[in-house]
Structure 1
Amino acid sequence: MTQWRFPPEWHMQDWLWIGFPHDGDEWPGFLEQAQVQMAAFASAVAESGQQVRLLVRNEANEARARALCSEKVQIERRTYGDVWLRDTGPLVMTNSAGGRIAKRFGFNGWGGKYLMDGDQTIGAEIAADAGLEIETADWILEGGAIDADGTGLVVTTEQCLLNPNRNPHLSREDLEMRLQRDLGFNRVLWLGEGLINDHTDGHVDNLARFVAHNVLALPKATGENDPNAHIYADARARAEGAGVVVKSIPSPGRVERDGRIEPASYMNFAITSRLVVVPIYGTPHDADGVAAIAELFPGRDTVGIMADAILAGGGSFHCSSQQMPRI
């Protein structure tokens, strides 16, 4: 039997898919600036020497992207709703024989909250166009709900994976079995809650990220009014209790918009073959957050790019991208 492996994100990549914002209803008052920030992300990765495939929705959206992006960015017109390809795109696995396969899962709009045209089909479409065989699993999972260290260890949150709006018929043990059967994970690190007001019901890629084998980056509260301080502390206790090494990253602190706490996080960074792109928000902690993440990736350049407008739509750079691992 072929042994498929889910490579960690720092594995070399052939290209990066990125979604380009197009829907003003998703970014009320922020669409144009969100497009500028997403274009800056795509351009930075492309200028680093890695291929970028930027998905655009229609002719006007394509024209806007071309006006904002580096000429090195490859633009593809597709039908998709939200830009969060981490969740709607394919999860690509590799094997020692030089093969790749796309794993697809059920998608219900993050628990029925955001159902948009194209989001249930875009993953299979771009996988098929890349020449990948596709296997579809019988349960709901978004890519941002998990993060892997390349040794069979995966981290997730109870708030998301055990949420009754995803797979109400599956127990914790059922989910662990499916994670092993469909993605090859033989150990699961269960964290508790995700960030306050995270639209995804606590996706782990906004809270905790593996940066090496058995090494997990986690935010550390900054300021007495950091709204997620208890969540960070609980995640650290669970990780260390499981024997995982924890690296602390300063959090952005308290970030609000119109009196509402925003799920701002430096942890939504994107790792590419040559570059790590960290979302920043204009807080006094941005430079420290980028510097702390840069220390974890000495073989790559690390840059901070403003993502406050993208956050207004519910995510950031990691959420909007999906990598094609190199064989």
Structure 2
Amino acid sequence: MNRHLTPQDPTPSALGFAMPAEWAGHAATWMSWPADDELWFGHLPAVRAEYAELVRTIVRFEPVELLVRDDESEQDARRRLGDLAQLRYHRVALDDVWIRDNGPIFVRQDQPDAPGPLALTNWKFNSWGGKFEWRHDDLVPEYVAGQLGMGHWDLPVVLEGGAVEVNGEGVALVTRSCLLTPTRNPQLSEADYARLLGDYLGAERVLWLDGGLENDHTDGHIDTITRFTDAQTIVTSVAEDPADANFAPMQANLARLREMRDGQDRPFRVVELPLPAVRLEGAEGRLPPTYANFYIGNGFVVVPLYGDPNDERALEVLRPLFPGREVIGLMSRAIIEGGGSFHCMTQQQPEGDVWPGP
């Protein structure tokens, strides 16, 4: 029986839990099958083809727990994927595909030489400030906790997984444009967020960038622009055309990152990652393609590509940053029509024995 914990209970941090870095070992990757053609502006068949290739790639390296919302979705997924050895299907009511944001955020009580007990945090999800339907998606963390028999904290605070990037050593990166938007938690200040991320994700130092990409419906998630590749290395997106609306904010982020320090007052190694060179337009204006929305798993990194002149350049930047991992580029040209890519579509379950609660 998994136990529900509330803000009145001891926090994860008080019990020694913290969110592991993405490169820590995974027990599985949780994903949600794309289902709504209207949300994909008529591109659903092409989206599903790209998504199936993403699932097939990840399942080569680690188990995938795939949520499907109805008969049609499950039949389509099984037709494209079959019954792969490390793939398990779950029938769950869903609104959309972005499980990074609506899914659980796992925390672990690490030991000095081994992964410790694993729990999860269940934050509120309101579809990036009420932009789309969300009520089914907001229930996914509870479903996952029930499937795993896992203790978890239920929090009355809106927070998406793509809004927080951690290095596994107490540092978290976030953006003001996202967390401080009035459609999420208008009552919360930067200091309030720092306390919450410390108490519930183990962040000892929260570092703030100002904003993200033009026309990003997440209001500038950190995982679309700036990522840790190890505890001391940050890769950050840059635009190369001074006339591009993304040029100035990305340069401001770059300058700020170069001034930042970790918990031991050491500067980070900051690596520039080009944005795609060609401006992409979708049904609702400019699309926000980015190579920073990669996903790190057991022995691999999967990077979204767009058929852009900078695709190979981006892979060349990223490969040396992940020694011992296969850096794999996969097409995301149809997927980006929905506003996100591979990191947005995945949520890692770290290794660790299930913690049922105190």
State the Cα deviation string for residues 266-316 of structure 1 (Å, max 9, x = none): 000011112111011111111111221121111110111111111111211
State the Cα deviation string for residues 70-109 of structure 1 (Å, max 9, x = none): 6423222211111111011110111135211110112222
Matched, 1:35 2:48: yes
| Distance in 2 between residues matched to 1:301 and 1:107, nearest whole Å | 33
Query: 3-state DSSP class of the match of 2:72?
Result: helix
Query: 3-state DSSP class of the match of 1:121?
Result: helix
Task: Name the structure 1 match of 2:109.
Answer: 95
Counterpart of 1:9 in structure 2: which amino acid? E
For 1:65, which of 65, 77, 81 is the aligned residue?
77
| Distance in 1 between residues matched to 2:176 and 2:333, nearest whole Å | 27
* Aligned-residue offset at 1:224: 4.8
Matches within 5 A, 1:148-297: 148-242=166-260, 243-257=267-281, 260-297=285-322
Task: Name the structure 1 match of 2:99.
Answer: 85
Matched, 1:74 2:73: no
Counterpart of 1:257 in structure 2: which amino acid? E
Matches within 5 A, 1:7-18: 7-18=20-31
For 2:38, which of 17, 20, 25 is the aligned residue?
25
Contact 2:241 2:247 in 1 (8 A): no
What are the ranges of 5 or more consecutive residues in structure 1 without an aligned counterpart? none
Query: 3-state DSSP class of the match of 2:137?
Result: coil
What are the ranges of 5 or more consecutive residues in structure 2 without an aligned counterpart? 1-13, 261-266, 353-358
Task: Name the structure 1 match of 2:348.
Answer: 323
TM-score (norm 2): 0.88
Identity across the alignment (%): 35
| Distance in 2 between residues matched to 1:22 and 1:118, nearest whole Å | 13
Stretch deviating more after TM superposition (282-291 or 116-125): 116-125
Query: 3-state DSSP class of the match of 1:76?
Result: strand
* Aligned-residue offset at 1:117: 4.2
| Distance in 2 between residues matched to 1:289 and 1:18, nearest whole Å | 25
Counterpart of 2:329 in structure 1: which amino acid? G
Contact 2:18 2:200 in 1 (8 A): no
| Distance in 2 between residues matched to 1:321 and 1:148, nearest whole Å | 16
Contact 2:125 2:134 in 1 (8 A): no
Contact 1:239 1:245 in 2 (8 A): no
Query: 3-state DSSP class of the match of 1:231?
Result: helix
Contact 1:154 1:185 in 2 (8 A): yes
| Distance in 1 between residues matched to 2:311 and 2:302, nearest whole Å | 13
Counterpart of 1:35 in structure 2: which amino acid? R
* Aligned-residue offset at 1:39: 0.8
For 2:161, which of 140, 143, 150 is the aligned residue?
143
Task: Name the structure 2 match of 1:51.
Answer: 63
Stretch deviating more after TM superposition (247-256 or 296-305): 247-256
Q: How many residue pairs end up in the alignment? A: 326
How large is the RMSD of aligned CA atoms in angstroms? Answer: 1.5
Contact 1:156 1:203 in 2 (8 A): yes
| Distance in 1 between residues matched to 2:307 and 2:341, nearest whole Å | 14
| Distance in 2 between residues matched to 1:5 and 1:170, nearest whole Å | 22
Query: 3-state DSSP class of the match of 1:16?
Result: strand
